[in-house]
Copies of this chain bind each other. A is one copy, B any other.
Amino acid sequence: MGWIKVVGIGPGDINDMTLKAYNVLKECDVVVGYTTYINLIKPLIEDKEVISLGMRKEIDRAKKAVELALQGKNVCIVSSGDAGIYGMAGLMYEVVHKENIDLKIEVIPGVTALNAAAAILGAPVMQDFAVISLSDHLVPWQVIEKRLALSAQADFVIVLYNPKSKERPENLMKAQKIIMKYKKEDIPVGIVKNASREGQQVIITTLKEMANYEIDMRTIIIIGNESTYVENGKMITPRGYVL
């Protein structure tokens, strides 16, 4: 029987991948993943069997990985960023547990989109933070609204994943309205699209203006806390040291 490694490939650039992720991709027999992510690592896996499946095919990808491992193959199933943050790690365990298969799974952590976006923006995540996905595909919108409101009240730095989909373009404006009840409208906001990938775009704006930019599912938004400031084009949330 083969093994399954759930590999976080980082935000996109192969140089942001860990040495371990790089090496297991070289060692395995098959790579399974979402087409876009497979394309990001193509030069690395040219000699491998590759199974790439489209969006919303997460369950099929996990089942395919199990099928291949049961055939004796060593399988890497890839997520962008970190497989353990909104990635494939959970589903992989769920599928194996549900089918009651005794397969060895290992999660190889990676640099998640929030780390990559923060590094590009400056240092916006030096204090406590909350991470919320605005996709209500798998979580009811009322739960997301509650989390937004409570996070804003707690003065967390708020990181938004999946801020705007074609199906639900209004979620971002709804989120902005909720957060503005508790955070000042001129608080700095960083928007990073395609972090560490081709087409990277970086915008530093304010909470009030953030919904006026072109934002999609590959964008990460970081909303500061009350101490966040912008200087020399960088967004900084001071850790609290007295200089």
Find out whether the CB atom of B123 lies under 8 angstroms from the CB atom of A89: yes
Find out whether the CB atom of A115 lies under 8 angstroms from the CB atom of B123: no
- Residues in B with CB closer than 8 Å to A11 are 109
Residue A108 interfacial (CB < 8 Å): yes
Q: How far is the CB of A189 from chain B (nearest CB, A)?
A: 16
Q: How far is the CB of A188 from chain B (nearest CB, A)?
A: 13
Find out whether the CB atom of A123 lies under 8 angstroms from the CB atom of B107: yes
Partner of A231, one of B59, B97, B150: B97
Find out whether the CB atom of A236 lies under 8 angstroms from the CB atom of B128: no
CA distance A58 to B242 in the complex (A): 11
Partner of A232, one of B58, B92, B97, B156: B97
Find out whether the CB atom of B82 lies under 8 angstroms from the CB atom of A123: no
Closest partner residue, chain B, to A92 (CB atom): B123
Residue A154 interfacial (CB < 8 Å): yes
Which residues of A226-243 have CB atoms within 8 Å of chain B's CB atoms? 231-232, 234, 236-241, 243
Q: How far is the CB of A234 from chain B (nearest CB, A)?
A: 6
Find out whether the CB atom of B133 lies under 8 angstroms from the CB atom of A131: no
- Residues in B with CB closer than 8 Å to A232 are 97
Find out whether the CB atom of B154 lies under 8 angstroms from the CB atom of A147: yes
A147-B138 contact given A22-B19, A90-B237, A94-B238, CB 8 Å threshold: no
Residue A166 interfacial (CB < 8 Å): no
Q: How far is the CB of A138 from chain B (nearest CB, A)?
A: 3
Residue A2 interfacial (CB < 8 Å): no
Q: A130-B151, A131-B131, A150-B154 are in contact. List 17 more A-B contacts (CB 8 A).
A: A11-B109, A16-B19, A16-B109, A18-B19, A19-B19, A84-B115, A86-B126, A86-B127, A86-B239, A90-B239, A91-B126, A93-B236, A110-B115, A111-B111, A111-B115, A129-B131, A130-B130
